[in-house]
Amino acid sequence: MSYDTFGTLFRVTTFGESHGVAVGVVIDGMPSGFELDIEAVQRDLNRRRPGTSRYVSAREESDRVEVLSGLFEGRTTGAPVAMMVRNESARPENYDELKELFRPGHADYGVQARYGVRDHRGGGRLSGRETVARVAAGAVAKQFLESLGVEVSGFVRRIGGVRAESVDLAYARKSEIQCPDPEAEARMIEAIESAVAERDSIGGLVEVWATGVPAGLGDPVFMKLDAQIAWGCMSIGGVKGVEIGDGFALADMRGSEANDQFKDGFELDTNRCGGIVGGISAGAPIVVRLAVKPTSSIGKPQRMARTDGSVVEHALEGRHDPCLCPRIAVVAEAMVAIVLLDAWLRRSSVVKNS
C-alpha cells in the first residue's frame, strides 16, 4: 500500500512534487560498508536534468544532490541512504491557464476524479520531476552492481521513426539525446526539431541493456525479474509498453524459431529471450524496450475539457520537452538497476540458507 515505495530488500521511497520545496529519496536496505561516489550520482542527475539542451524542457534546475543520511567518511553505514535535490525553478504561475482545463493526454481529469481535488500547478507527484529521486537511487544501485560486474545502460533506440542501427554505449552517455549511433543521432535531432517547428511533440523507443548479469536472478511467481522490470518501467510517465528481448515479435514466431538454444556450456546461441527465461536471468544480456508516447503538452490547439464539462479549443504555453525519450532513457536505466540489485540481494539471502 505504498504509493511511494518500490523494491523488497533494496527499497526505494521517493518524496517531493513538481512545485514544492524539494524531491528526494530514502533507500532502505543498501548494504553497509560500500564506498559511494556521490559525484557519479550527480552525473546521472545531470544526464536527466532539464535545461541541458534544446531537446528537453527549458526549466532550469541545477539539481545538486545532498546526502542526508547513510554515509560516513564516504562509506554507507547501513542506515537508510537519504538524498535530496531542491527545486529551484518551480514556476507554478505558469500553470494558471490550467486551473479550469483538463489537458488531453494528461492525468488532469483522472486525478480530479480520483482525489476530488487537483493541483493544477503541473503534475504534482505525477510530474516527471519525481523521477529525479529514482535516478539518484538508481545511480546508487548501479555503483553496487558495477562492483559485481554488472553494467546497466539506457539509451534511445528510435525517435520519430529514425532507428539507431549501431549501439555505442559510451557515445550515448555523452549524446545530448542519449543516442548510441552518431549517424542516427543527427537525423533524430532533425525529427525533434521538425516537431518543435510545428509546435508538436514526438515519441520513440528507449532501450535498457544490462550486461554481466549472471544466470539465476529473479524469483518465482510475482517476483519474476521481467515482471518487476515491467512494473518499474511502466510506472514512468509516458511509457505505454514494455517488452523483453524480441518481445512482441515473438508472438508471430514458432517455438523452433523463438527458443534460444544452447551452444557451448550454458551459453545461448541467440538472445531472443532478452536475457530472461521463465522470469529468471539466463546469463545473457538483459534487453528491455520501452514504448514512449509523444509528450502530451503541445503548442498546437487541441480540444480540452473545462471543469464544467464544456469543450474548448486551446493551445498550451509553457516549457515542455518536445520528446521524452532522452530523459526516460536515464530513468529507465535507474529502474532496471534497482530491480536487478533487489533481485541480487534476494538471491544472497536464500542460497545461504538452502
Q: Is 72 helix (H, G, I), strand (E, B) or coil?
A: strand
What is the nearest approach in angstroms of a copy of itself to the Cβ of residue 35? 12
* Between 60 and 262, CB nearer to a copy of itself: 262
Residues 260 and 272 sit within 8 Å (Cβ to Cβ): yes
- The three cell numbers of residue 191 are 525529427
Beta bridge partners of 302: 314
C-alpha cell of 257? 524459431
Q: Does 197 bind a copy of itself (CB under 8 A)?
A: no
Check residue 208 for interaction with a copy of itself (CB under 8 A).
Answer: no
CB of 52 to a copy of itself, least distance (A): 21
Q: Is 5 in the site for a copy of itself (CB under 8 A)?
A: yes
Asked if 250 is part of the footprint of a copy of itself (rule: CB under 8 A), the reply reads: yes
Q: Does 351 bind a copy of itself (CB under 8 A)?
A: yes
Beta carbon nearer to a copy of itself, 43 or 199: 199
Of 58-117, binders to a copy of itself (CB under 8 A) are: 66-72, 77-80, 82, 84, 102, 104-107, 109-117
Q: Does 57 help bind a copy of itself (rule: CB under 8 A)?
A: no
Q: Whole-angstrom Cα distance, residue 303 to residue 82?
A: 43
* Footprint on residues 266-285 left by a copy of itself (CB under 8 A): 266, 269, 273-274, 277-283
Q: Is 33 exposed, middle or buried (0-12, 13-18, 19+ CB in 10 A)?
A: exposed
Q: Judged by CB under 8 A, does residue 126 bind a copy of itself?
A: yes
SS3 20: coil
Shortest Cβ 214–a copy of itself spacing (Å) = 7
Single-letter residue type at 277: V
Our finding on whether 142 is near a copy of itself (CB under 8 A) is: no
333 binds a copy of itself (CB under 8 A): no
Is position 327 an interface residue for a copy of itself (rule: CB under 8 A)? no
CA distance 240 to 87: 28
Task: Name every residue whose Cβ is closer than 8 Å to that of residue 109 and which is 6 or more positions away in sequence.
Answer: 102, 305
Sign of CA pseudo-dihedral 95, 96, 99, 102: negative
